Amino acid sequence: MGQAYSTIAFDPAKCDGCGKCMTACASVKFDSTDTTRSLIQIVRSGGARIEPPRPGEFELALCRQCADPKCVTVCPAGALGKNGTTGVIDWDASKCVDCLLCTIGCTYAGIALDEHSGRVSKCDTCEGKPACVPACPTGALRHITTARIYNEVGSWEDLFAPGLAGCQGCNTELLMRHALRRVGPDTVLATPPGCVPGMGSVGFNGTTGTKVPVFHPLLTNTASMLAGVKRQYERVGRKVTAMAIAGDGGASDVGFQSLSGAAERGERILFMVVDNEGYMNTGMQRSSCTPYGAWTSTTPIGAHGRGKTQDAKNLPMIMVNHRCEYVATASTAYMEDLYEKLDKALAASERGFAYLHVYSPCTTGWRFQSALNIEVARKAVESNFVTLWEYTPEAGLHFTRPVDKPLPVADYLKAMGRFRHLSPEQVEHIQNKVAENLRFVRKIAEQADEQ
């Protein structure tokens, strides 16, 4: 398995050119106040120095730690090399002969001559703790460490059978495999009717689709069956994670009674809902999680029908009102966030009921291209259609990925076919609903802050 690496990301829309990253770099790397020595260089476009600078006018020159580094290939002295562990292009000062050929190889101005030393200099990411990133006051620079997850997960055992039968582009396989890898082999898994068993968790030809015990409860009794299984294991003294991977239909509609009951009783269960906003496995019928205006096979578009006429139930907020040990929403567009929540949910499930609600765009039922799943998931968050937060009884509710400048919800709606028919009034309704939902969740979050 290949190695993934951490990286420094730059968002030009947020950079106001303050130069604090360069000051930090020059100071840390050269003990100098001369920002021309900084290994990260912010470049203002237009070159004009008259008007005050505005965000969006700045770009950067910085070593990209290329996977296919040209500076390495043109080095005659073997002084540059890709570090397989850190991903950094390492420069060996003792081998370098100062020929500057690397500066010819690099088309990104990522390795350049430092006039003071007469030698080339390049970013080494400060051994994984880049000084420029915390110095950035606007959030334009971020250190993306998601790679850690993939590298770690890669070494954990995959507990699903190879080759699950999901629709092309579905992110649920990603979700299932990551979640089960994280939760580990000492798990009993419940997968009620829906896409997850449809993809093969319950198996084929008399064998299960998982390497852990899996059962297929009814839609109605998932949480209660799982609670019984968990209690029996506790009675015999075995430490086992009782986990459900259920769809939104099975959780919010017909399975809600047993879910609510288990949460109320504080059963020690990790309940993960994969919310694709409908009964997608059985032919895309509407559920109580289907949003207003969406096409489904039971909310058709025709002479009278204009999609679903009711708003979606906010199931995770309902779970907050059960005062569960842990409640969180997550998205596969934000894996680092998802993993942190998975860790917390797993720990919380040893004390009480842990509920994780993961938004899962459905390529087939929502009608978008199979390559765009993560993009659609990201737009849902960026438009505040979906908000990412977590709740514990002690700390209350906190946003984990607040969005400063949300996209208009129309940008999200346009990304898929199930909203194609919407009238401007319907779009306005949805935008208002997004605002109302946000106000509602925000109010709870503010109460947490007042504590």
Partner 1 sequence: MHTTDYLIAGSSHAALEAINAIRMHDGDGSITVVTRDPHRPYSPTVLPYVVSGRSTPERVFLRDDDFFTANKVDYRSGCALAGLDPAAHQARLADGSTIGYRKLLLATGASPIVPPIPGIERVDYHVLRTLDDATRLRAAMAASKNAVVLGAGLVGMHAAENLVKAGASVTIVEMSKQLTSGYFDEVAAGMIEQAFLGNGAKIRTGHRVVGLEPSADGATLKLDNGDTIPTDLLLVAVGVRPELGYLDGSGIATERGILVDDTMRTSAEDVWSAGDCAQARGFFTGTPVMNAILPDATLQGRIAGMAMAEDPGLKPYAGGLPLNTYHFFGRHAISVGSAAVPEGGRAQVRFDAASGRYLRAVFDRDERLTGIFGVNEFFDAGVMAQLILRRTDLGPLRERFFAQPLATGRELMSQLWR
Binding site for partner 1 (CB under 8 A): 41, 43-47, 59-61, 70, 73-74, 76-78, 95, 97-101, 103-109, 112-113, 115, 118
Tell me the two tokens of residue 94: 């003792």
Query: Of 136, 192, 143, 120, nearest to 5 (Cα)?
Result: 143
Minimum distance of partner 1 from residue 334's CB (angstroms):
24
CA distance 189 to 242: 6
CA distance 32 to 26: 5
Tell me the two tokens of residue 305: 């029908």
CB of 203 within 8 A of CB of 161?
yes
Minimum distance of partner 1 from residue 94's CB (angstroms):
8
Q: Which lies closer to partner 1 via its Cβ, residue 23 or residue 210?
A: 23
Minimum distance of partner 1 from residue 157's CB (angstroms):
26
CB of 193 within 8 A of CB of 216?
yes
Q: Which lies closer to partner 1 via its Cβ, residue 30 or residue 215?
A: 30
Q: Which lies closer to partner 1 via its Cβ, residue 115 or residue 436?
A: 115
Q: Which lies closer to partner 1 via its Cβ, residue 118 or residue 302?
A: 118
Minimum distance of partner 1 from residue 162's CB (angstroms):
21
Q: Which lies closer to partner 1 via its Cβ, residue 107 or residue 321?
A: 107
> What burial class does residue 7 get, using C-beta atoms within 10 Å of its C-beta: 0-12 exposed, 13-18 middle, 19+ buried?
middle
Minimum distance of partner 1 from residue 22's CB (angstroms):
13
Q: Which lies closer to partner 1 via its Cβ, residue 12 or residue 228?
A: 12
Output the CA torsion sign for 189, 191, 195, 197. Answer: positive
Any idea which residue has 């006051």 for tokens? 137
Minimum distance of partner 1 from residue 66's CB (angstroms):
12
**In a 3-state reduction of DSSP, which class is residue 415?**
coil
Q: Which lies closer to partner 1 via its Cβ, residue 112 or residue 153?
A: 112
Q: What are 260-263's contacts with CB under 8 Å, separation 24+?
A: 260/318, 260/322, 261/223, 261/224, 262/223, 262/224, 262/226, 262/227, 262/353, 263/223, 263/319, 263/322, 263/324, 263/353, 263/355
Q: Which lies closer to partner 1 via its Cβ, residue 109 or residue 347?
A: 109
Minimum distance of partner 1 from residue 73's CB (angstroms):
5
**H/E element holding 391?**
strand 389-392
Minimum distance of partner 1 from residue 113's CB (angstroms):
5
CA distance 252 to 282: 16
Q: Which lies closer to partner 1 via its Cβ, residue 119 or residue 351?
A: 119
CA distance 406 to 239: 43
Minimum distance of partner 1 from residue 58's CB (angstroms):
9
CA distance 356 to 385: 18
